[in-house]
Homo-oligomer: A and B are copies of this chain.
Amino acid sequence: MNQLYGNALVGQSGGPTAAINASLCGVIEASLVAHDAGLIGTLYGMRNGLDGLFSEDFVDLFAHFSDPPSRELLKRTPAAVLGSCRRKLPAVENGSDVYEEALRIFRKYNIRYFFYIGGNDSMDAVAKLSQYIEGQSYEMRVVGVPKTIDNDLPETDHTPGFGSAAKYIATTVHEILRDCSVYRIPAVTLVEVMGRDAGWLTTASALPAVIGAPGPDLIYLPERPFSMEQFYSDLKNAFVRHPNVVVAVSEGIRFADGGYVGAGAQSGVTDVFGHRYLGGTGKVLESAVKNTFGCKVRSVELNLPQRCAAHLLSCTDIRESRAVGAYCVKAALHGESGCMGVILRKPGSAYHVRYATVPIRCVANRVRHVPDTYINAAGNGITDACIGYLQPLIRGEVRPVFRNGLPMHYIL
């Protein structure tokens, strides 16, 4: 172990999730331990990710979160408590100004540990920053903490934030299925789930199976080309079984030519104000089914609550999100840099995980798709193997802290 004394800096980036603050909590808790061991002086949080780095907008996280109740509330607070950004760093060879400015700030605050909690784009920043620092006469460790509800980061069994989003989606689809079952008239209900490139979140709609309850009749993922003819045929077959057909679709489904099904809603259609129309995949299919079948059709876009429904967290997800954040601090203290923490599932029928790091270059700008073995032959549903993979990730609950009937959040 190569001991390095100094301060630490942590930021959050990319789209919010319900678990990104649990990872921050893990970073804080491991840093508190390192502080007591004389390894980390102060842990700064930068507001709005890299924007806060360059504007030196730092907050002392030990001051805010040294007492356990504040950290319990932090774990139950959705979205990035430090704020986020969508900043992309230039290639190291083209951006010496930017990187020199970063280094100046690191020196100024004696930052020796840099943690960045985020998804694909954020890992790109971690890769570039660690690459730049390696070539400088300044010892510093740069570690990425994974985060994305999309579950599409490579090298990790699953991503922090996915389990809670999956639990929310499964619970909501389960409730929508009850709602749809009350009438006897033929009806199609389309549930649009997030996931532009990978269908992981949409597979979670099938999870009512884990309690023996019915799931959606049809499930469409971006991993398979979407065909309107096949869709109509699938619907006809579903109507033979019962009148209330429920369909889960990923927002990112595409036709064989690569065009997004939802693109129609964004391509020049105007409303009564003469404005271009913004809709989604669900709305496009709603309109198509209504005109083809003439039956009652609705679409439900699960939308933002998928990534911020902190009132319904997966305990497994929050525990692991916290643990991976803490693991990344420990890895940095042990001398690692230019890497990202991952969650690995141990072999065997019981669900156990361990934590590790992988070189950041294996992760940045790559997408992990739902594998073929998780999708049925017809491309309109998922397999038992997929349910087996998903099931442990939504287990357990984290009770919100209710006051006057509403869950409390930590607002920094």
Which chain A residues have a beta carbon within 8 Å of chain B's beta carbons?
A: 12, 16, 48, 51, 77-80, 83-86, 167, 170-172, 174-176, 178-179, 181-184, 189, 207-208, 210-211, 213, 263-265, 267, 269-273, 275-279, 283-284, 286-288, 290-291, 298-301, 303-305, 307-312, 314, 316, 391, 394-397, 402-409, 411
Contacts and interface: CB of A to CB of B under 8 A. Distances in A.
A309 B311 CA distance: 12
Given A171-B407, A174-B406, A311-B171, A51 B395 contact: no
Contacts of A273: 264, 284, 287-288, 291
A175 B283 contact: no
A181 B411 CA distance: 10
B271 A308 contact: no
Given A51-B184, A275-B288, A394 B406 contact: yes
Contact of A179 (B16, B171, B172, B178): B16
B279 A213 contact: no
Contacts of A79: 175, 178-179, 181-182
A175 B408 contact: no
Given A271-B264, A271-B265, A178 B405 contact: no
A397 B402 contact: yes
Copies of this protein, total: 2
B278 A405 contact: no
Secondary structure of the A side of the interface?
mixed
Contacts of A265: 271, 277
Contacts of A276: 287, 290-291
Contacts of A270: 269
A271 B287 contact: yes
B303 A211 contact: no
A175 to B, nearest CB: 4
A107 B267 CA distance: 62
A308 B181 contact: no
Contacts of A396: 405
A409 B174 CA distance: 9
8 contacts: A86-B183, A167-B405, A175-B309, A263-B272, A265-B277, A271-B283, A276-B290, A395-B404
Contact of A77 (B178, B184, B405): B178
A269 B268 CA distance: 11
Nearest to A287: B275
Nearest to A269: B271
Contacts of A279: 271, 277, 279, 283
A83 B304 CA distance: 30
A183 B407 contact: no
A48 B286 CA distance: 25
B278 A283 contact: yes
Contacts of A402: 397
Contacts of A86: 183
